[in-house]
Structure 1
Amino acid sequence: MQERGLKMSEFVAQFNLEVLNKGTDFDTMLLTITDVNRPGLQFHDFYDYFDPRRLQVVGKAEITYLKGLTEQRRRKCFDDLFLYDIPALVISRGLDCFPECLDSAREHGRTLLRTEDTTVEFTSRTIEFLNRYLAPCVTRHGVLLDISGEGVMITGDSGIGKSESAIELIMRGHRLVADDAVEIRRISNQLIGTAPEVIRHYIELRGIGVIDVRQLFGMSAIRAESQINLVVQFEQWDNTKFYDRLGIEDHYIDILDIQVPCVTIPVRPGRNLASIVEVAAMNNRHRRYGYNAAQELAQRVDLRAEGKTKG
């Protein structure tokens, strides 16, 4: 799992923030957690449970309170806050910055920013963005497709037929998310997959080479990201191995501590893998909605057997 952090300079550019003062750590400071803090309690000298890693945001309420203080008291409020190694202090609504705040930020080498957004708008956008950017992330080898609204990741050994099956599924109207490498993030207990930027929309087909799915099939054939609902594992057919023919037992694979339904498809000449994957996706959706064909068949067989026994 990758340790992720967002550079303060990149955050400023992403949100088009005005830089009132560059801290001494402006180019090296990383945002590593998604929480933000409004330091109203801290301006009342309450620093219990204060986490300095959080971005600090002041809005109209805090500014109005600070206006009622003397210059010396305001300066102390900012000095106490800037003693901590905070990423930055952001002033919302485009409000004026107190001279005491700017002087204290310069003295302590802290970053001071300003946004035209309201406090609620800025904090909600920031939390949403950081939740996605800082989400736990892994990269898995495979192909990810959106099949009738189901996010299906196909895995298996190199050359087993993943990309070929993906092309056939795309020609049937389904959408490609990623080929070869799938970046997976855990966001709000969901797994969201996407393609690395450099290979997005491309598929490699042995004998043909690399193709651009977006250029060949149009925008309707691609999707930027998808939730991962099912993992389909391709493996070479093994005559000595028993393959489940009923599907009564559920199988799962662990990705970032989330259990994802998983099916294994044995590969051998003559099997239409694209059709099998398509059916697996639709069947998985039915199971999520509470319908299990294998269990229903087993119940019918049991009822028939009980009826014959009673007769």
Structure 2
Amino acid sequence: MAKVRIKDVIEALDLELVSGEEGVNRPIVTSDLSRPGLEIAGFFDYYPAERVQLLGMTELSFFNKLNAADRRQRMEELCRDFTPGIIVTRGLEVPAELLEASERESVPVMKSNMKTTRLYSRLTNFLESRLAQTTAVHGVLVDIYGVGVLITGKSGVGKSETALELVKRGHRLVADDAVEIRQEDQDTLVGKAPELIEHLLEIRGLGIINVMTLFGAGAVRSNKKISLVIHLELWEKNKQYDRVGLDEEKMKIIDTELTKMTVPVRPGRNLSVIIEVAAMNFRLKRMGVNAAEQFANRLNHAIAEGDHDDL
């Protein structure tokens, strides 16, 4: 099923449908747009017909200088079987040749009063958001000091309880149990809660609680960029855990690699404080302050001085 159809664009950007009404259910498969200036001039060798076409002042000013036969031919070429739609910007008059071709091929032609560059920007943002790659992850997403922290782990390890404690400490819940993630940019993942369970938290033995009702609107947010993954696992006696922080583990979601930390869980460990400090330390690292590296440098310096004293 198509994620975006022309009728969605009409509703989102408040466009006026002028002709080609039969094609309003045409799917849009790419967020790339086209301003067919070369095509209006007659060069269709590389015409990206699968894109939404924008006709602004430049394109239509040149088009009006063509003779009647060329105008008819160019608009017929623009209206392909798989062209999603054509938008005329700036409130300009839609050419009669375009109206005829669009009705014949059922290509929707829309009109907007916005400037071409403004419409281009808004439509690109809308399509990129709707056409972005998506996935779902079992876990909890919390905004901690501006850092989007995705808490993962097996069922029953204590993810939701930890999130509840973080909310009590003043941080904001984004999603519990299921996190819907979309790839907004090459290295940007944004997570949110499914609509059905938005603002809800499941605590075993207590049931479902509404975080916004209990703690107020400031305790939740609708979406957040994911920057850090904290994986909770039951403590294994014979497993070696990172005690310095020099080794940085990565986790790949869709096309983006995120920093991942594994935190062992056992009685007596305050997970909410550990995760809170992990988020603060992550921010420091991004600012160029790495405590683990500083310690390693001090240690190497002390060893080097010791070797020198032995001489």
Is TM (by shorter chain) over 0.5? yes
Contact 2:2–2:27 under 8 Å retained in 1:
no
Contact 2:49–2:80 under 8 Å retained in 1:
no
Gaps of 5+ in 1: none
Alpha-carbon offset, residue 84 of structure 1: 4.8
Q: Could you say which residue in structure 2 is the equivalent of 1:58?
A: 55
Q: Could you say which residue in structure 2 is the equivalent of 1:259?
A: 257
Q: Could you say which residue in structure 2 is the equivalent of 1:82?
A: 79
SS at match of 1:262: strand
Which of 99, 104, 110 matches 1:102? 99
SS at match of 2:196: helix
Which of 286, 304, 308 matches 1:310? 308
Which stretch of the first structure deviates more once superposed, 45-54 or 63-72? Answer: 63-72
Contact 1:23–1:105 under 8 Å retained in 2:
no
1:225-253 C-alpha deviation (Å, 9 max, x unpaired) = 21111100000111121111111111111
Alpha-carbon offset, residue 25 of structure 1: 3.5
Q: Which amino acid aligns with 1:50?
A: Y
Count of aligned residue pairs for this structure pair: 308
1:26-65 C-alpha deviation (Å, 9 max, x unpaired) = 22x2111111111111111111222111000101122222
Q: Could you say which residue in structure 2 is the equivalent of 1:33?
A: 30
Q: Which amino acid aligns with 1:263?
A: M
Contact 2:81–2:105 under 8 Å retained in 1:
no
Q: Which amino acid aligns with 1:70?
A: N
Q: Could you say which residue in structure 1 is the equivalent of 2:128?
A: 131
TM-score (norm 1): 0.95
Q: Which amino acid aligns with 2:87?
A: V
Deviation beyond 4 Å, 4+ runs, structure 1: none
| CA distance 1:292–1:34, shift in 2 (3 Å) | same
1:63-117 C-alpha deviation (Å, 9 max, x unpaired) = 2222223333321211111135210011111211122211111112211111121
Gaps of 5+ in 2: none
Task: Supply the distance in 1 between the matched residues of 2:83 and 2:164 (Cα, whole angstroms).
Answer: 49
Q: Could you say which residue in structure 2 is the equivalent of 1:91?
A: 88
Which of 174, 182, 190 matches 2:171? 174
Task: Supply the distance in 2 between the matched residues of 1:92 and 1:248 (Cα, whole angstroms).
Answer: 55
Q: Could you say which residue in structure 2 is the equivalent of 1:144?
A: 141
Task: Supply the distance in 1 between the matched residues of 2:80 and 2:232 (Cα, whole angstroms).
Answer: 57
TM-score (norm 2): 0.95
Which of 264, 268, 275 matches 2:266? 268
Q: Could you say which residue in structure 1 is the equivalent of 2:44?
A: 47
Task: Supply the distance in 1 between the matched residues of 2:164 and 2:152 (Cα, whole angstroms).
Answer: 15
Task: Supply the distance in 2 between the matched residues of 1:255 and 1:4 (Cα, whole angstroms).
Answer: 23
Which of 192, 195, 198 matches 2:193? 195
Q: Which amino acid aligns with 2:95?
A: F
Q: Which amino acid aligns with 2:120?
A: T
Q: In the alignment, is residue 155 of structure 1 matched against residue 152 of structure 2?
A: yes
Same amino acid, percent of matched pairs:
39
Q: Which amino acid aligns with 1:233?
A: H
SS at match of 1:32: coil
